[in-house]
Amino acid sequence: MATLTLPIRISMPPNEHPFTYGSSKNHANHQKVPFPNTKWRCSATNQPQPPPRPRQRQQQSKSKKNASDAEKGVDPVGFLTKLGVSNKAFAQFLRERHKSLKDLRSEIFKRFLNLKELASGFDIMGMQRNVHHRVDYMEWAPGARYCSVVGDFNGWSPTENSAREGHFGHDDYGYWFITLQDRLRDGEKPDELYFQQYNYVDDYDKGDSGVSIDEIFKKANDEYWEPGEDRYIKSRYEIAAKLYEQIFGPNGPETEDELEEIPDAETRYNAWKEQHKDDLPSNAPRYDVIDNGKIYDIFNIFNDPVSQEKFRNKKPPLAYWLETRKGRKAWLKKYIPGIPHGSKYRVYLNTPEGPLERVPAWATYVLPGEGNQAVAVHWEPPPECAYKWQHKHPEVPKSLRIYECHIGISGLEPKIASFNDFREKVLPHVKEAGYNVIQLIGLVEHKDYFTVGYRATNLYAVSSRYGTPDEFKHLVDEAHGMGLLVFLDIVHSYSAADEMVGLSLFDGSNDCFFHTGKRGHHKFWGTRMFKYGDIDVLHFLLSNLNWWVMEYHIDGFQFHSLSSMIYTHNGFASFTGDIEEYCNQYVDKDALLYLILANDILHALHPHIITIGEDVTHYPGLTEPTSQGGLGFDYFVNLSASEMWSLLLENVPDHDWSMSKIVNTLVDNKHGADKMLLYAENHNQSISGGRSFAEILFGESLEHASDKKASLLRGCSLHKIIRLITFTIGGHAYLNFMGNEFGHPKRVEFPMPSNNFSFSLANRRWDLLENEMHSELFSFDKDMMSMDENERILSRGLPNIHHVNDTNMVISYSRGPLLFIFNFHPMTSYERYRVGVEEAGEYQVILNSDEKKYGGEALIGPDQYIQRTISKRTDGLRNCLEVPLPCRSAQVYKLTRILRI
């Protein structure tokens, strides 16, 4: 009968806790018997251990994965733990999303070397000048059966420049490859060197010395090779012949039948060594084999140290090879460019739905054509004409004062302004106003001007309405020279639905760049929704972000309307505030993974890049690190503030304004409030069918007001204090739309059929800066920006809001050594209003909205600008100030002298 032996492990107690014999009464008289501190194993343990159960294996592998993530500092629910939020459903969603991200990365790395390659598609896609006197064109159109490039350079022929058959013309992923060869000029002969290269841009002035290829090769032989080193290069068969003669002798076999059995390598080597044992050392080989009687020793090579060092120091003759490259003049003399600079072209696709002509998806310059069909322009200016960068990226400031702009409406005249107009006239104004960032909207190429650029058609092209790519580079460079960062309002949340000029039905199929069915269309805006789960779509979008940084030196991005992409209902749903609404079936996990990859890649490739997320739903973790379960944005936009101000100005009487509501809306969420971007009004209030604050305050009401002076005073006062409290109470970033700093009185209305394509409201009235009222408002805004520059208000910690009085309509808070006091009451002024302060001392007014130079009444005299604290506990603080407080005014006090009590 067979016996069963179990692998039982027996553990004995350690010697720190020995057993004792005898009773507890006389244990001191007895010797302790220690046992060694080891674990004993019976003989049965010599048997092989059984494999762990499947559940145990899963737990072990799971623990290993968790351990590896922990070692890298990755915690998919880290920000929930930090905020003390406990929600099983959302935590599980974050863990599943993290697993999906790892799976996505694995799929990406099967096709791309790294994430940088994934985000650098512009290096190979579209038109690319090749050093071998040709242009390579690559396009992604998986639904096409045939692909060619048509344009004015080939008479718009769909057969002259087409993709070849086979792998080099079309791969399994749907990428098409076409070469456009340069043509020899009349009387010119082909290059002597088959792989002749040319310098088109870099070092374009080199290589035109007239030195021939033979002369360069002779120079290389004379300078690079030592005597005898190039012997086997000149006679490539000599080594093989010598080896054959060594093995078989001078009359060796000539056929396979004559070939006898060849001894093994060791036998042949020993025989050769014995034969040459008496040779002089100078005739000995540089290398020898050490044989210690072991089989593997035959592979131990003994090397001459001198020759080894000499070989290592020998650099490849790349310099001579680069010298064979010819310059741009030699290229233009011999060749006619296959596609000259400025040529118009499109991509021709034969699809199951029939032939199509499309503007290439990676086109960098697009011009509107006749009808709905636009054309791409091959932008390859001569290097002597191409723009050369003069300035580096400015350092990223600790606080962002963003000036939001639209190039087209930036001019005074009722027409589309250009890059050059903006550079010459608007940039100096922005610098004078004290802002440190310009944010451009409507810059990417779009078909319809009235869409403000939010229905982009060509994501790699600047809008040709404003000028050329080089003119935009000049604008960015000039801004950098002034110390201004340049941000781009990027729209990757949807795309134009136009088929002739955009990406919709690009290759004839409905699922190339976008989802099919209802999910592929925005529910209300009629735009197309990207298919973020497709690696090729990710390749296109992520490369687009990197392209703007690499090509145009963009310093940051504001991602427009994230709610349109994060949710399948496009954000048009009622939110109750339940956290499970952020992880239910309406959340597009692929879109979230794209945002995580976008932030990870941008911050890895460009450490100083700034990303801003605009999401009306305040998705949890928007500005948290991706390693802690967040989406990785640097800032988020508080969209509620501007909506609140518009509601109060248009619908609520002045005396009914709630101070508590104002503070709660502006502060928004305490968690991550330092990463909040605030604005009183941006382009939405002026463009999207609404009215700017100045139009509400100074518009039609002034024409019918019985007391025009009082109406102007009310409008100016509210305009100033609204902007001041919005500027100073929020996070590290503030935004203002172009012209609103001086109270631009009219809204923006782009030319469209409803206004008979009029440009009368599609401009900015810079001439109003000569007007007294508008000049005073601009002075206040400029001093507000200067105050942040000098006192570093936005970069300080969050404000301590200690006084909010709805009855008196007064708000007060401190931020560092600064004290801000606002009186929103329309009628009541206070001679000695008491507010609390923590530090005892003297406080001096550094900004007063009621000063004459700002259009105020100057009710606070110069002798009242310095106030000393009173030792009386107020607002929960140890001291207080009694300050004059005119109605509809605000003052900023600074602690200038500390009193020790």
pLDDT at 451 over 50: yes
Residue 1 confidence (pLDDT) above 50: no
Q: How large is the average pLDDT for residues 842-850?
A: 97
What pLDDT score was predicted for residue 745? 87
- State residue 201's pLDDT score: 73
CA distances from 497 to 452, 458, 465, 625 (A): 15, 12, 20, 34
pLDDT tens, 462-505? 999 999 999 999 999 999 999 999 999 999 999 998 888 889 99
pLDDT at residue 846 is higher than 50: yes
What phi and psi, each to the nearest 5 degrees, are found at residue 437?
-140, 140
Mean pLDDT score of the chain? 85
422 touches 407 (CB < 8 A) = yes
Whether residue 614 lies in the annotated active site: yes
- On the question of pLDDT at 298 being above 60, the answer is no
DSSP 636: E
pLDDT at residue 526 in the model: 85
Ranking 220-234, 509-523, 667-681, 854-868 by mean pLDDT, the lowest is: 220-234
Handedness of CA 859, 865, 866, 872 (dihedral sign): positive
Task: Measure the CA–CA gap between 665 and 671, rounded to whole angstroms.
Answer: 14
pLDDT digits (tens, 9 = 90+) for 880-901: 999 999 999 999 999 999 887 6
**Residue 51 gets which letter from DSSP?**
P
Say how far residue 637 (Cα) sits from the centre of its chain.
17
Has residue 109 got a pLDDT over 70?
yes
**Whether the Cβ atoms of residue 575 and residue 505 lie closer than 8 Å to each other:** no
Cβ atoms of 620 and 669 closer than 8 Å: no
Separation between Cα atoms, residue 830 and residue 551, nearest integer Å: 57
Looking at residue 27, what is its pLDDT?
A: 40
CA separation for the pair 719, 471 (Å, rounded): 36
DSSP state of 264: P
Across the range 430-436, mean pLDDT stands at: 97
**Are the C-beta atoms of 540 and 513 separated by less than 8 Å?**
yes
Q: Per-residue DSSP letters for 459-521? A: EEEE-TTT--HHHHHHHHHHHHHTT-EEEEEE--S-B---TTTSSTTTTSSTTSSB--GGGGB
H/E stretch holding 344 reads strand 344-351
Q: How many helices (H) and strands (E) does the chain have?
A: 24, 32
What's the pLDDT tens digit per position in 372-388? 689 999 999 988 889 99
Task: Report pLDDT digits (tens) over 608-648.
Answer: 999 999 999 989 999 999 999 999 999 999 999 999 999 99
Q: Is the pTM of this model over 0.75?
A: yes
Give percent above pLDDT 90 in the chain: 60
pLDDT for residue 494: 93
pLDDT digits (tens, 9 = 90+) for 122-156: 999 999 999 888 999 999 999 999 999 999 999 99
Q: What is the mean pLDDT of residues 279-292?
A: 63
DSSP states of 183-196 as a string? EEPTTPPPPSSTT-
Nearest-5° angle of CA 320, CA 324, CA 325?
Answer: 125
Task: Identify the residue with better confidence: 2 or 185.
Answer: 185
pLDDT per residue as tens digits for the range 313-364 = 777 777 777 778 888 888 888 899 999 999 999 999 999 889 999 999 999 9
In contact, 728 and 373? CB cutoff 8 Å:
no
DSSP state of 782: H
pLDDT computed for residue 281 by the predictor: 67
- The residue annotated as part of the active site, out of 614, 681, 776, 791, is 614
Structure tokens at 235: 């006679």
Angle, CA 563 vertex, CA 562 and CA 566 arms, to 5°: 85
Dihedrals phi, psi of 234, to nearest 5 degrees? -70, -30
Per-residue pLDDT at 878? 93
Instruction: Tell me the per-residue pLDDT of 19-78, one tens digit each, with 9 for 90 and over.
Output: 333 333 344 334 333 333 333 333 334 444 455 555 555 555 555 555 555 557 899 999
